[in-house]
Amino acid sequence: MTDNQLIAQFLIEKDNHAFEALVKKHQSNIRNFLRRLNAGNIHEADDAAQETFLIVFQKLHTFKGKSKFSTWLHQIAYRCFLKQLDKQNNKLIDFDGDHPAISSLMNSNDLAETDVLVAQLMKHLSVNERLIITLSYSTGMSQSEIVEVTQMPLGTVKSHMNRGKQKLMKLLPKSAAVA
């Protein structure tokens, strides 16, 4: 079933199984998105993901269908992340960066180690750079969809994207940056 069919089934027939199917379909993407924004903090990401789906359950009737459901869902997840950030007084722990560790992880074929590398690299980016890079590369959103999720002007989105990519290119060993 499509997202719209599941939404209709949930809203019209009050079918909780339809909502459960929506959650199963999108929870992995939302958790990964929030993990990247939280620079690998799995617990914070899981808390924000849970809050996201609770809000979706309560507010699904307000979804107008003007954008893709996944775009709307990421918008809610992003707001949950921002609320979480406010609770932490905007303090994110910076990774001092043991670059030899990053280099050794770069040579790994292990997906778990790759996730560790991405989390370590994301800690070097500002929250907005993490957001834009994650939405673009992890979720495959277009720049116009990113504008919709973040409510940032297109020029700002492009600036954060370029700055984030430049920072990552400096952190990655030259052999990995070319790949």
Judged against a pLDDT cut of 90, whether residue 170 lies above it is answered with no
Quickly state the pLDDT bin for 174 (edges 50, 70, 90).
Answer: low
pLDDT digits (tens, 9 = 90+) for 30-55: 999 998 888 878 899 999 999 999 99
Residue labelled with tokens 């370590």? 120
For the chain, how are helix, strand and coil distributed in percent, rounded to 5? 75, 0, 25
Contact 141, 169 (CB under 8 A): no
Domains and their CATH numbers in the chain: 1-93 (1.10.1740.10), 94-179 (1.10.10.10)
pLDDT digits (tens, 9 = 90+) for 114-168: 666 677 777 888 889 988 988 888 788 899 999 998 999 999 999 999 998 888 8
Q: Give the pLDDT score at 89.
A: 58
Highest mean pLDDT (candidates 16-25, 106-115, 133-142): 16-25
Q: Give the pLDDT score at 72.
A: 94
* d(C-alpha 45, C-alpha 84), whole Å: 9
The b-or-e profile of 9-22 (16+ CB within 10 A means b, else e) is bbeeeeeeebbebb
Q: Give the pLDDT score at 20.
A: 96
Contacts of 7 (CB under 8 A, 6+ apart): 18, 22, 60, 63, 69
In this prediction, residues 51-78 reach a mean pLDDT of 94
- The mean predicted confidence, pLDDT, of the chain is 82
Compare 60 and 36 and report the one with higher pLDDT. Answer: 60
